[in-house]
Chains A and B, each alone.
Chain A
Amino acid sequence: MRLKIKTSLLCLTVIGLLSFLACEDLLPPAPADNEVLDGQMEGLSATQTRLFLEGDEAFSEVFTPETGLGAYFVTSSCISCHSGDGKGHPSTTLTRFGKWENGQFDPLTHLGGGQLQNRAIAGFQAETIPVEANGIAKFTPPAVTGLGLLAAVPDATLLALSDPDDADGDGISGRVNYINPPDFFSQLKWHLPDDEGRYIGRFGKKAAAIDLLHQTVNAYKQDMGITSDFDMEDPINYAVSAQQTDLVADHEIPAATVQSVVFYLRTLKAPIRRNEQEMMVQLGEQLFKDIECSKCHLPTMTTGISDIEVLSEIQFHPYTDLLLHDMGAELNDNYTEGIAEAAEWRTPPLWGLGLSPDAQGGNYFLMHDGRATSIEEAILMHGGEAAKSRTNYSELSQTEKEAVLAFLESL
């Protein structure tokens, strides 16, 4: 009898534990789609999803000296600078340099410019900024979500938005940056080069990358020291020797890996808004337009025809015009790329702004170099063409300012 009781008790214990094991409530729930930046666009096919996952894996790959890292680099993986596909942190900031001489900007490529590789693998010596450099800027890595939509906006749209001579007299004179294409660049129907064979750039702080392949190849090389079929040369520390590179045979990754990362970036979902029905948020959205922030941080854009159906002819809300604007003397770092002036910066998309702290260690590090530690601080750093909007913001009541900030945090 006693044995039967014990047996029953033990069986009950085991059944209870098995039930416990089956309980999904004990597993961490998925965060809401609008609470995270990462995730694929809706509507991808199974094959496209597989490609997305391949790209996701490549985006997270950590390179080592054995797999080609360096010899000079800034970071060892894409994900290190774009945690959760969000903005970077001051510890992952890129440093770019060059030299102004007789009104011309020299990126000092013969001295390792324009990007500093401030890290090196064992046995190598990291680069330092050469004494010749007189233009130095720091770039905080941007969020990478929604890039496929921005990449699919036709050049004609950007040209139509530009107003280089401020013909409409509103004090805002956005213009496109023209960039010499790399050898591997492949022209699409809607690309509109200028008379000198240069193409419109749209990615990066100075809009110096024409498309996501251009951006990705550069990042692999300049940020991680990884050569690919598209660019077979490792960064070099010319202060040591023009011959000193790593000992891993080039290419270090194949074209397929680069392309999978490009596909991943193209099909990452756009940030999804939060709290958009709240009164303060709606008031802030109206005020954002009223104080003319939306003239550069354009709320809505439309893509052209794309080879990926979910990117084709889509209206979306990035809060950028992808154009260069003069942001005033305080944001002039005496550094430039393409035809941009040193004080000109591409309007950064504001979507996902409210989720930035979740990728930046709980803080905001805004503007091109992360110098602003709050949204309001960033607004008050706007000068040049944006000075009028800054003044307009300053003249708002405290409640109205809070509404604008609530709106920006909802993006």
Chain B
Amino acid sequence: MKPIVILFLWLVFSQWVIAQNADSLNTTNKDAVYQRPFIFEGQKGNLTAAVGGYLEANTNYFSTDGVSEGFSMEMRRFNIFLYSTIKERIKFLSELEFGHGTEEIELETALLDFELHPSLIFRAGIVLVPIGYFNQNHDSPKWEFIDRPLVSTNLIPSTYSDVGFGVHGTIPVQSLSFTYEAYVLNGLQDGVVANEENRTFLASGKNEERFGQDNNGSPAFATRLGLKKRKVGEIGLSAYLGNYNTFQKEGLTIDEKRTLFIGALDYNFSIKKLQCLGELAIIKADIPTDLGQNFGDSQWGLHTDLIYPVWKGTLFRWQNMTLNAAFRFEYLDYNVGDFEETGSNISDHLFAVMPGIGLRFSPNTLLRMNYRYQWDTDLLGNPPAKTAGFQFGFASYF
């Protein structure tokens, strides 16, 4: 290497070292834990972070073919949000979820947004993967139903967050807003098949290890394109593509690369007072043939929620209350195809209807009551198991 190049590198490196240690030279090492910007700002009386969250709980009374476990109460979620504007056009957001008390604790979001331009924002960290509508819009107080849509949890594995980076932005086109998101992620992992569900089940591929390391060194890709017209609604198309299995170890190939594709169409629009929202998902997966026919290589499902405000007004001195009537329809086919042995259809599907009401004290807080009737048909197409039940609960942002 030429001396002039070495000199140049030394100068650059030494300047960087000096800059990095400028603050540390003024403090002792033992005080390093207090050498944090939010403490400095706090001492000046400036709040640099906002805390929020939501809470939801409910009762359950369900019966399957005449057998009931009785009445029970469930503390579903207690989620804490932390938000900070670190610098103009640099934002931080995180969401920590406590599910069923402390049974499940999960970091669902921890991201930084660097806004280069409203139409080009760089995002990195643990992000909510943009597949369909629900995954990024899953906060319970937004929904009139206690149970999440099954297409959004049992096909699209909501809430699905993953570590990665990418870009998103909004591009206004006359009265329309075109939105896009595109991320590179570690992706879903081995549990997609050969899991306790005994079927292709993407949620079982959400290994905790995905936040630390990709299981196959082959990133996944997710994108969503949306088109929104104010006061009318939004439609979105999204896709996820990646390899889910561990196909190599120590540089040696131990399996074929197995691809997983999720495609989704989501919609959210109003016709006068009636709101209609839902999503349709299609899954295509490369399944090891040796695993057997329980694990379908093709799945699809959809849900649609209809919400209609039947009353608005003041009650017990609470102003602007709304009573919404709601109805959900959902259908899932976990295994599209025919049996090799008989040529008959592989069933493994469910159908459910769910009427309910939501009494909103404000847009952020509601009481809700749901009734659910669900028909589950097994792989062979035997008479469906019929489940029905009632739920009563609340959800609120804070």
Residues of chain A having any CB pair with chain B under 8 Å: 3, 6-7, 10, 13, 17, 20-21, 26-31, 62, 64-65, 69, 75-77, 80, 83-84, 89-91, 93, 118-126, 358-363
Contact = CB atoms under 8 A, between A and B. Distances in A.
Contacts, number: 116
A268 B360 CA distance: 49
9 contacts: A21-B371, A21-B390, A28-B65, A31-B65, A76-B194, A121-B290, A123-B254, A361-B381, A361-B382
B103 interface: no
Contact of A64 (B196, B339, B369): B196
A80 B190 CA distance: 22
Nearest to B310: A13
10 pairs of A and B residues whose beta carbons are closest in the complex: A30-B66, A361-B380, A28-B386, A90-B341, A27-B63, A126-B290, A120-B290, A361-B381, A21-B390, A62-B198
Interface stretch (B147-155, B179-187, B218-226, B312-320): B312-320
B255 A122 contact: yes
A136 to B, nearest CB: 15
Contacts of A125: 290
Interface string B42-54: 0000000000000
A50 to B, nearest CB: 15
B392 interface: yes
A122 B288 contact: yes
Interface stretch (B127-135, B170-178, B291-299): B291-299
Contacts of A6: 311, 313, 315
B190 A28 contact: no
Interface in B319-378: 323, 339-342, 344, 347, 357, 369, 371, 373, 378
Contacts of B373: 26, 28
B294 A358 contact: no
A119 B388 contact: no
A343 B329 CA distance: 54
Contact of B290 (A26, A29, A119, A363): A119
A115 to B, nearest CB: 15
A395 to B, nearest CB: 32
Contacts of B387: 28
A373 to B, nearest CB: 9
A91 B195 contact: no
Given A62-B195, A80-B379, A91-B340, 12 more contacts: A10-B323, A17-B369, A26-B388, A69-B194, A83-B378, A90-B341, A119-B291, A122-B193, A123-B254, A358-B382, A359-B380, A363-B342
Interface string B8-35: 0000000000000000000000000000
B65 A7 contact: no
Given A91-B293, A360-B380, A362-B381, A122 B190 contact: yes
A75 B340 CA distance: 16
Given A21-B369, A21-B392, A28-B388, A122 B313 contact: no
B245 interface: yes
Nearest to A29: B66
A27 B372 CA distance: 9
A11 B340 CA distance: 57
B388 A89 contact: no
B213 interface: no
A93 B339 CA distance: 12
Given A10-B311, A119-B292, A361-B344, A17 B198 contact: no
B119 interface: no
Nearest to B199: A62
B337 to A, nearest CB: 11
A83 B382 contact: yes
A83 B381 CA distance: 11
B371 A26 contact: yes
B197 interface: yes
Contacts of A362: 381-382
